[in-house]
A and B are shown apart, each in its own frame.
Chain A
Amino acid sequence: MKAIMKYWNKPSRCAYLFLAPSVVLLLLFNVIPLAAAFGLSFFDVPITMNTARFVGLENFTAAFLDERFINSLKVTAVFTLMEVPLQVFGALVVASFLTKNTFRNKLFRAIYFLPVICSATAVGIMWKMILHSNIGFITAVLRSMGLGKINFLNTPGLTIFVVSFISLWRSFGISAIIYVTAIQQVSASLYEAAEMDGAGKVKQFFHITAPSIRPTFWYILMTRFAGALQIFDIIYITTNGGPNYTTESTVTYIYSRAFSSASSMGYASAMSVILFVVIMAVTVFMYRRMNRED
C-alpha cells in the first residue's frame, strides 16, 4: 500500500487519478456509445439487440433513399439557419444593453435566464396550450384583435417558424448571459478612450465590444450550431414532427426509428452516424475559421 501511495503521490502521476473520473465517464457515455452506434450502423438489429445481421452499407443507402430522412435533414437545416443567427446576434444585442450591474439589468437577466432552467417538457406543453388553434390564449387574443384564426401548430410552412421561436425563447437566456460576462471583461479604459475621441455607443459596440468578445461569439456560434442540428425535445413535445412531417428534425426521426415499437436500431444508428458527420464537419469548419481569425 505504501508503495502504491508513493507511486501516486507525485503530481505528474496523481494528475491521472484526478482525470480518471472524467475520462471514465467520457468513455462510458460518449466514446463507447459512439463507437457502438458506428458499429451498429452496419447491422440489421432489432430493439432488443438479441440478433444482428451484417448488412454492410445497406442502412446508409436506405437512409439516402428514405424520403422522410431527407426531409428531416432539410427541416433541421431550415431550423438551424433560422434559430442560430437569431440567437447569436439577438442575444448579443440584448446583452449589450444589460451589461451594467444595475438592479433593472439583473432583473432582466434573471427573466431571460428563467426559461433555460425550465424543463423542455414544461416549456413545450405551455406553448402548445397557449398556441392551440382553438383554445389557445394567444390565438384567442389575436382573433379578438381581428387578425383571424391563426393555426400556429398545424400549418405546414408556418409551424417550423413557431417551433424555432419556441426553441429560441427557451435557450436565448444562456447565450445572453455568456455575452454579458464577456462584455463585462472588456477593459473600461477602452470605452473611456473611445468616448474621449468622440465615439458614440454604436461605434463603441462595433469597434470595441464586438472585436473584444470574438472568442465568445465563436463559442456561442459553434455550440448553438451543434445544438440546433440536434434539436429534439421542443419538437417532440410541441408537434412531434407534424404537421405532415414539416417539423420532423433528424433526431426526432432517428428517435422514432430507434425506440418506437417498430424500431430498427441499425438503421437509426446509420442515420445518427450521418448526422454526426454533418455536425463534425460544421464544427471543424467553424473551429478552423475561428483559429484563423485569432
Chain B
Amino acid sequence: MKITIFNREICVCALLDTNSFMRKKQRRNEEKMKKKTVSMLLTTAILMTSLAGCGGGAQDTAGTPAAETETAQDAGGDTEEPETEAAAQTDSAGPVKISFWNSFTGADGDMLTDLVNRYNEENTDGITVEMDISSDFDSQLSTAFAAGTGPTMILSSSSYRFTYGDYIQDISDVFDKTDLDEADFILSYLDYCSEGDKLYFVPFQIVGYYMYWNKDLFQAAGLDPESPPATWDEWAAYAQKITDESKNVYGSGISYDYAYQIAHIMQRFGGLAVTGENGNWKANFAGNSGYIDFLNMYREMVDNGYNPLEADTDSMASAGQIGMTVGGPWVTAGLDTAGINYGIGLIPTGNAGDMNSVEVLGFSVTTAASDAEKEAAYKFIEWWNTENAQGSSPALEWSVANGFPAYTYSVQEKDEYKASAKLSAMSAANPDAPTDFIVDSSFPGINAVIADVIPEMINAVAFGESSVEEALEKAQTAAEKITANY
C-alpha cells in the first residue's frame, strides 16, 4: 500500500482525535508552506540572476553588440537612444570587468595568467580582466558568437578576422585613445592586422618559423656546427651526411603532418600559393616549378632514408635524432628541456627569394564589448606595451621568456632582448622581405589552404599515392574552389 507522508500525518492526527492539535498542525503547515514559497521564489531569483550572469556581461552592459548599434546609427534612424545608452556606459565611472579569451594552454599560459593577475592588482582604473584559457577556444568562440554573446577581448591569429570578421571591432582609434605610439610598431606586422584603413588586431606575438640544427650531430658528421645550410641544396647534402641509420639519426626532420612547416618551406621554393586581389585571386599550385622541386626533394629524402616518414618529428628532434628541422619558437622548449646543443637560424632561402613569412597573433575587441569595456581593453593593451619605471614591459618579458620576436622597435632595442641569442637570430630576417605567409596576407581563404589543400598534397606525395605533378594538379583544383569563394 502506498501512503504519502502527508496522508500518514493526517491518519495519525485522526487517531489522536484532538482538534486543537489539528489546527496547530495546519497553521504550522501553512507557515511552512509560506516559508517554502518565499525560499523557492528567492532560489528562482538567484538562479535566474546567475543564469543571466552566464550570458555574459555584454548583454548587461551593452545590450546589443556594438556592430548592431553602429548599423542602427548608420541607418539614420532614431539615434538618440543608442547614443544615450553608450554615453551612460562610457560616463559610468566605477569598476569595469572585461572578459579575455584565448587558447594559451601551455606553460606560456601560466605566464599570461601571472601577467593578467599583475595587471588586475596594479591598475588604478578599476579594471578587472577575467581571463579564460581554453584548448577548445575556436568552438567556444563560435558557439558564443552564434548565441549572440562573446568575450570583450580575444587573443588569436590575425587571420581570425576572415572567419569572425563580423564580430571583431575596428580598433584603429587605439593609438588616439592611448599613449601607444603607432610609429613604434613594425609596419608590416600592423599591416597583417589591418584591412584598408581599419585595424582589427594589435600585435601580441610574432610567430615565424626558423631552422634549428643539432650542433653535436653536425660535428659527428664532420660538418661545421656553426655553419648551417644557407640553401636547400646544402640542406639535402647535409641531411645525407648527418643520417646514421645505425643510431636512428636522420639528417632532415620535415614532417608530412606539419602543414605550417611545409607551407613555410614550400613558399621559399615556389612563392605564394595564392596571389592577386579581392575577387581576382589566382592559385599557383599546378606547374609551379618551385613546388615541384620541393616535393621532389622531400620525396627523395624520404626514399633515401635521410628524412623520416613520421608525423611527430619534434619529439625526435628533442631526442637528438634529427640533424635539421624547421619549426616555430616552441620547438626550443623541447630542445632546451632535453639539453640539446642546437643553433637557430633563418629558413634557407629558395628560388622564390628572401622571405620573412610570419603569422601575427594579436589582441582584438569583439562586438560584444560595450564602449566602456572597449576602453578598458585598450588600457590593458596599452599597459602590455608600456615600459614601467625599470624600463621593462609585459611585451618585453613575454618576448624574452617565450622566445618570440618583438613587434615594436622599442622592445628590439632593449638590452635583455639583444642579449638573447635566440631572439637575435629570429629577428635577423630582412625587414624589407615580404611577411606574407603562404598566401597573400589579405586572402581570406588562408585557413582552408592550410587545413585542406597543403595536407592533401603532401600526404599524396609522401605516401606515393600520386606523382608530384598529379598532387599539384589536385591541389590546384582544390585551391581554385577556395579562391572562387572570395
Alpha-carbon distance A135/B138, docked complex (angstroms): 32
**Shortest beta-carbon distance from A153 to chain B in Å:** 7
Alpha-carbon distance A2/B462, docked complex (angstroms): 75
**Shortest beta-carbon distance from B252 to chain A in Å:** 14
Assign chain A's interface to a size class: 20 to 34
Chain B CB within 8 A of A128 CB: yes
| Contact, CB under 8 Å: A11 / B309 | no
| Contact, CB under 8 Å: A261 / B310 | no
| Contact, CB under 8 Å: A259 / B164 | no
> Closest B-chain residue to A143, C-beta based?
B248
Known: A49-B146, A156-B463, A245-B459. A260 touches B312 (CB 8 A): no
**List of B residues within 8 angstroms of A154 by Cβ:** 309-311
| Contact, CB under 8 Å: A11 / B310 | no
Q: Out of B166, B309, B312, B445, name the residue touching A48 (CB < 8 Å).
A: B166
Alpha-carbon distance A171/B130, docked complex (angstroms): 39
Chain B CB within 8 A of A230 CB: no
Chain B CB within 8 A of A272 CB: no
| Contact, CB under 8 Å: A132 / B312 | yes
Binding-face segment, A107-115, A162-170, A182-190, A236-244: A236-244
| Contact, CB under 8 Å: B160 / A132 | no
> Closest B-chain residue to A155, C-beta based?
B309
Q: State the majority secondary structure of interface residues on B.
A: helix
| Contact, CB under 8 Å: A1 / B33 | yes
**List of B residues within 8 angstroms of A244 by Cβ:** 459-460, 462-463, 465
Which B residues from 165 to 217 make CB contacts under 8 A with A? 166-167
| Contact, CB under 8 Å: B316 / A134 | yes
| Contact, CB under 8 Å: B257 / A134 | no
Interface flags for A146-176 (1: CB within 8 Å of B; 0: not) read 0000010110100000000000000000000
Q: Out of B37, B248, B311, B451, name the residue touching A261 (CB < 8 Å).
A: B451
Alpha-carbon distance A133/B465, docked complex (angstroms): 21
Alpha-carbon distance A154/B464, docked complex (angstroms): 13
Alpha-carbon distance A133/B322, docked complex (angstroms): 13
Alpha-carbon distance A206/B142, docked complex (angstroms): 54
Chain B CB within 8 A of A9 CB: yes
| Contact, CB under 8 Å: B447 / A260 | yes
**Shortest beta-carbon distance from B155 to chain A in Å:** 15
Which A residues from 231 to 267 make CB contacts under 8 A with B? 239-240, 242-245, 256, 259-263
Chain A CB within 8 A of B10 CB: no
**Shortest beta-carbon distance from A146 to chain B in Å:** 14
**Shortest beta-carbon distance from B115 to chain A in Å:** 26
Chain A CB within 8 A of B4 CB: yes
Alpha-carbon distance A11/B7, docked complex (angstroms): 13
**Shortest beta-carbon distance from A269 to chain B in Å:** 13
Alpha-carbon distance A133/B307, docked complex (angstroms): 13
| Contact, CB under 8 Å: A261 / B159 | yes
| Contact, CB under 8 Å: B160 / A261 | yes
| Contact, CB under 8 Å: B451 / A48 | no
| Contact, CB under 8 Å: B459 / A134 | no
**Shortest beta-carbon distance from A163 to chain B in Å:** 13
> Closest B-chain residue to A48, C-beta based?
B145
Known: A261-B159, A261-B451. A239 touches B311 (CB 8 A): yes
Give the one of A2, A5, A46 with max B CB within 10 A: A46
**List of A residues within 8 angstroms of B256 by Cβ:** 242-243
| Contact, CB under 8 Å: A151 / B309 | yes
| Contact, CB under 8 Å: A262 / B142 | no
| Contact, CB under 8 Å: B164 / A48 | yes
Alpha-carbon distance A5/B5, docked complex (angstroms): 13
**Shortest beta-carbon distance from B479 to chain A in Å:** 12
**Shortest beta-carbon distance from A18 to chain B in Å:** 14
**List of B residues within 8 angstroms of A259 by Cβ:** 138-139, 142
> Closest A-chain residue to B163, C-beta based?
A261
Alpha-carbon distance A263/B448, docked complex (angstroms): 8
**Shortest beta-carbon distance from B408 to chain A in Å:** 27
Interface flags for A100-127 (1: CB within 8 Å of B; 0: not) read 0000000000000000000000000000
> Closest A-chain residue to B257, C-beta based?
A242
Alpha-carbon distance A247/B459, docked complex (angstroms): 13
| Contact, CB under 8 Å: A133 / B310 | yes
Chain B CB within 8 A of A286 CB: no
**List of B residues within 8 angstroms of A245 by Cβ:** 456, 459
| Contact, CB under 8 Å: B308 / A134 | yes
**Shortest beta-carbon distance from A138 to chain B in Å:** 15
Alpha-carbon distance A154/B164, docked complex (angstroms): 35
Give the one of B2, B312, B319, B452 with max A CB within 10 A: B312
Chain B CB within 8 A of A34 CB: no
**Shortest beta-carbon distance from B274 to chain A in Å:** 13
Interface flags for B117-150 (1: CB within 8 Å of A; 0: not) read 0000000000000000000001100100110000
| Contact, CB under 8 Å: A242 / B316 | no
Q: Out of B138, B146, B462, B463, name the residue touching A50 (CB < 8 Å).
A: B146
> Closest B-chain residue to A129, C-beta based?
B315
Known: A1-B33, A48-B164, A261-B451. A243 touches B311 (CB 8 A): yes
Which B residues from 228 to 243 make CB contacts under 8 A with A? none
**Shortest beta-carbon distance from A145 to chain B in Å:** 16
Q: Out of B159, B160, B310, B319, name the residue touching A151 (CB < 8 Å).
A: B310
Alpha-carbon distance A239/B312, docked complex (angstroms): 10
Chain A CB within 8 A of B267 CB: no
Which A residues from 1 to 55 make CB contacts under 8 A with B? 1-2, 5, 9, 11, 46-50
> Closest A-chain residue to B444, C-beta based?
A262
Alpha-carbon distance A294/B33, docked complex (angstroms): 51
**Shortest beta-carbon distance from B129 to chain A in Å:** 24
**Shortest beta-carbon distance from A65 to chain B in Å:** 12
Q: Out of B257, B451, B459, B463, name the residue touching A262 (CB < 8 Å).
A: B451
Give the one of A49, A135, A239, A261 with max B CB within 10 A: A261
**List of A residues within 8 angstroms of B312 by Cβ:** 128, 132
**List of B residues within 8 angstroms of A240 by Cβ:** 257, 311
**Shortest beta-carbon distance from A243 to chain B in Å:** 6
| Contact, CB under 8 Å: A242 / B459 | yes
**Shortest beta-carbon distance from A238 to chain B in Å:** 10
Interface flags for B153-165 (1: CB within 8 Å of A; 0: not) read 0000001100110
Extra pairs beyond A256-B451, A262-B447 (17, CB < 8 Å): A9-B6, A47-B146, A47-B163, A48-B145, A48-B167, A128-B312, A132-B312, A133-B308, A133-B309, A134-B308, A134-B310, A134-B319, A243-B463, A244-B460, A259-B142, A262-B445, A263-B142
15 residue pairs from A and B, CB less than 8 Å apart: A11-B2, A48-B146, A49-B142, A50-B145, A50-B166, A133-B308, A134-B308, A243-B256, A244-B459, A244-B463, A245-B456, A261-B160, A261-B163, A262-B448, A262-B451
